Structures are given as C-alpha cells and as structure tokens.
Amino acid sequence: MTTLESRYRTLLRVYPAAHRAAYEEEMLGVLLAGSPPDRRFPSLGDALDLLRAGLTARFARSGPASRTGWHDAAAVAGVLVALLLGGFALATFAEATIDLTHGSPRQLAGVDGLIDPALRAVAWLAVAAVAVAGRYRAAAVLSAAALLVELGTLTFWLGLTPWQSMRLAWTPIVAILVTAAFVTARTARPVRSVVGGFGLALLAVAALTPAFAAWAAETPVFEWDDLAVWLPLALFAGVVIGIDPPVRRRVALLFPAMLLAPIALLETWDATVLAGYSGSRIPEMITARETLLSLAPVAIVAAVALAVILTRTGDEQPSGFPGAGGGQEGVYE
C-alpha cells in the first residue's frame, strides 16, 4: 500500500461503514488513477470534497426522509425567527403609535418614527406568511428584501449615532440566516402541515404578543416589557413540542443557533468597542478598526450561509456513483 493510498483510506473513514463496504475500492481506484505518480498527499480539493460528501452521507444516511426532516426544520426555524423580528418591529410601531396619540410623535432626524418599524414589520410578517404557505422560494426572496430594509435601518442610524448603528448590526446577520434557511428548505413541506392547526394559532398569537405588550405597558400592573420577549418564546416552545420528534429535535438545534449569532455579535461588540467606556458613557465616534470588528461577523455569517446554500444546491446534482447516473463528477457523493 502506497502512502497516498493509505492517506486516501484515512479520509474515506469519514463515510459510514456500510457505504465504505460498497464503494470504497471503486472510489479509491478513481482517486488514485487521477493522481500523479509522485504524489504523496491528497489534493486539497479531493480532501475537502471527501470530507463534505462523507459527512453528508453519515448524517443523512437514513435517506431522503432524513434530509426532508432537516428541510422541514429549517423552514420552521426560519418562520419562528421571522415572526420574532416582525413581532418586535410591530411592538416598536405600537409604541410610536401610542406616542402619537399622546401628542408626542416620534421624530428621528425629521423622519416620522412610524416608517421604520412599519416597513420592518410588514417585511418580516410577509416572509413568515409566505413561508407558512410553503412558498419557500418566495420566502427567500422576501427575506433578502427584508435584509435590504434592515441594512437601510442600519445606514439610517449610521448618520445619527455610529454607536447605535453598530448595535443594530445583528439584524442583517439574522436576515442572512433566515434567507439561508428558506433556500435550504425549498423542498420542505409547508410549515402549516408541519406544525398543524393548533401550532398555527400559537404562531399568530406569538406574532401579536409584543405589540400587545407595548400597549399594555401603559398600565402599571405587570412588567409587560418582559412578556414581549419571553411569552413569544414560550409560545414558540409550544409549537415545537407539537411537531413530530425527528423534526422537533432539529428545530431545537437550529432555532437557538440562529438566535445565538446576534447575541455573539453584541457580546463581541461590548468586549471590544465598549470596553473602554464606563457607566452610561457611549462613544460618539468609532474608528475604522472598531467598525470592522463589529461588522466582521456579518461577513462571516454571509460567507457560511452562502457555502451552505451552494452545498445544498450541489447535493441535488446527479451523482457519479453506481446506480446514480452521471459521469466521474460527483464520484465522492
């Protein structure tokens, strides 16, 4: 056994044992035939392709049903996050409306304070509504449009207070993740079929709860502001509990992960940019380095989301394995 063959066999161990028993020798023959005689290490492209395809085979080895479970989970998680964003924007709109009825309309740099939250609420609630109906391609397009709305909000605040603008940088991250979720979920069942009628009712209540909390905050009875966050999350938990176990487990992984990204961004911001400020002092100006540090996670998440989208698209191409049709391309699938 040559050194190159030994190293290829090591890489092939990422595949499930049953897969190796059926295809290892054939795959190894193709890999060695396409390598120069003096090569001692697998090429970077071969190594990455083997790792990607092997992990895909290992974690999706139960076949199309397993992949559909992940698609369903991505769709549900995308709807939950979109409703959360839409609900918060709706709450901000409700607060601005209350201020208007009290004779103190919000003015932000001469712009009516109702415009920004209204646009964001409409954008995200439209994303959720289309996705619930199973129109995932349209939901991905609308999510990209909502991303532009969030970027517009960030740019608007950049002209007022750079610090506030950087604090809003988590919203484009979430928009990118939601867009990636719906692109990944394009073959999933409609969300209404996954969560059922009762789950749809809980989703509707969760979307409206933040706005109700903003209105109810006028009464000195409860701390309604806390309910604007925790009650929708509790209702979402009820929705997830009612889903079939295979999809439920996947949603329980994806939904928190999509929310942890903005939290990590804010923690990074606080630890790097605001570390030198004490008390209620906030910086009026930020440096280019601080801006790059704050926006770097946006670029990183966008790159990872794009890689996932391209991988999922590639997984649907014809494979070159025996019985799958096609040529040598995709032989590692």
Please state the three-class secondary structure of the chain as a single string. CCHHHHHHHHHHCCCCHHHHHHHHHHHHHHHHHCCCCCCCCCCHHHHHHHHHHHHHHHHCCCCHHHHHHHHHHHHHHHHHHHHHHHHHHHHHHHHHHHHHHCCCCCEECCEECCHHHHHHHHHHHHHHHHHHCCCHHHHHHHHHHHHHHHHHHHHHHHHHCHHHHHHCCHHHHHHHHHHHHHHHCCCCCCHHHHHHHHHHHHHHHHHHHHHHHHHHCCCCCCCHHHHHHHHHHHHHHHHHHCCCHHHHHHHHHHHHHHHHHHHHHHHHHHHHCCCCCCCCCCCCCCCHHHHHHHHHHHHHHHHHHHHHHHHHHHHCCCCCCCCCCCCCCCCCC
**Closest CA relative to residue 288, chosen from 185, 179, 190, 166:** 166
Q: What's the domain range around 76?
A: 66-297
Q: For the whole model, what pTM was predicted?
A: 0.66
- Is the residue at 76 inside a domain? yes
If asked whether residues 189 and 107 sit together in one domain, one would say yes
Calpha distance 60→40 (Å, rounded): 31
pLDDT 10s digits, 230-250: 788 888 989 999 998 888 888
17 and 131 share one domain? no
Residue 303 belongs to a domain: no
Distance CA 146, CA 75 (A): 17
pLDDT tens across 47-95, in order? 888 887 887 776 554 444 455 688 899 999 999 999 989 888 888 887 7
What's residue 2's pLDDT?
81
Domain-embedded: residue 320: no
Residues 33 and 149 in one domain: no
Question: Token digits for 297?
Answer: 């996670």
Does residue 120 fall inside a structural domain?
yes
Distance CA 96, CA 113 (A): 6
111 and 198, same domain (yes or no): yes
36 and 170 part of one domain: no
Q: Are residues 292 and 171 in the same domain?
A: yes
Does residue 324 belong to any structural domain of this protein?
Answer: no
In a domain, 333, yes or no: no
Is 121 a member of any domain? Answer: yes
Domain boundary, last residue among 11, 27, 59: 59
Q: Say yes or no: 47 and 126 in one domain.
A: no
Instruction: Specify the pLDDT at position 143.
Output: 92
Q: Are residues 127 and 202 in the same domain?
A: yes
* Any domain includes 171: yes
| 112 φ, ψ (degrees, to nearest 5) | -60, 130
User: One-letter amino acid identity for 120?
Assistant: R
Cβ neighbours, 10 Å, residue 221: 8
Domain boundary among 59, 83, 102: 59
Same domain for 144 and 282, yes or no, is: yes
d(CA 107, CA 213): 22
Q: Are residues 195 and 74 in the same domain?
A: yes
| Dist CA 187 CA 124 (whole Å) | 21
Residues 14 and 71 in one domain: no
- 8 A C-beta contact, residue 135 and residue 230: no
In a shared domain, residues 187 and 141: yes
Low-confidence ranges of the chain (pLDDT < 70): 1, 58-68, 99-113, 159-167, 214-228, 266, 269-270, 272-299, 301-302, 304-333
What is the total count of domains within the chain? Answer: 2
